């Protein structure tokens, strides 16, 4: 009886595998442009807030050569990207490669290294406002700075911290 049940089970699993139709479809052509990977690597937004990562990916994937204003005559193009939490102004060359960016985001989540550095140096202070600024150039890479307004009761203090928690 046990062999009959196992045989029926194996037969039940094997039959549907042979009855499926295999459809072969041709996929549309996909163009991969790894041109702006250097920008994404330099900004390295793994620990950055979601709006920052989202806008930086939009900047990296933007194809200036497909824009309505594109002409072969110009050496560079300046394009602005806005969301409610921040903005990025990017400069592209005629081929679509990012030359430099200026980025500013307000009240974003701080990375763990910055939080740890703040707790160690200013244990009873809280962050009231923060501004995250990134300047990227192809030659120098990305410079990331957090400008913070700290509050402790009625006292206020402004500090600058880089992305790894070093006070400037």
Give domain status of residue 81, yes or no: yes
pLDDT digits (tens, 9 = 90+) for 75-131: 888 899 999 989 999 998 888 888 999 999 999 988 889 999 999 999 889 999 999
Domain count, the chain: 1
Between 19 and 45, whose confidence is greater? 45
Strands (E), the chain: 76-83, 86-93, 98-106, 126-137, 141-152, 155-162
Give domain status of residue 11, yes or no: no
Give domain status of residue 167, yes or no: no
Give domain status of residue 21, yes or no: no
Question: What's the predicted TM-score (pTM) here?
Answer: 0.73
Q: What are residue 76's DSSP bridge partners?
A: 93
């Amino acid at each position: 009886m046990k062999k009959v049940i196992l045989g029926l089970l194996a037969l039940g699993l094997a039959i549907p595998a042979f009855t499926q139709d295999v459809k072969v479809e041709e996929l549309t052509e996909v163009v991969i442009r790894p041109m702006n990977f250097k920008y994404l690597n330099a900004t390295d937004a793994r620990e950055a807030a979601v709006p920052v990562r989202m806008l930086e990916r939009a900047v990296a994937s933007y194809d200036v050569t497909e824009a309505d204003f594109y002409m072969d005559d110009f050496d560079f193009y300046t394009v602005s990207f806005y969301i409610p939490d921040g903005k990025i102004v990017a400069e592209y060359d005629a081929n679509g490669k990012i030359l430099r960016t200026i980025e500013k985001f307000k009240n974003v989540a701080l990375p763990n290294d910055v939080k740890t550095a703040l707790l160690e140096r200013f244990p009873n202070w809280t962050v009231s406002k923060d501004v995250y600024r990134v300047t990227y150039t192809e030659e120098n890479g990305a410079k990331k700075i957090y400008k913070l307004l700290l509050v402790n009761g009625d006292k206020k203090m402004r500090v600058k911290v880089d992305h790894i928690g070093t006070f400037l």
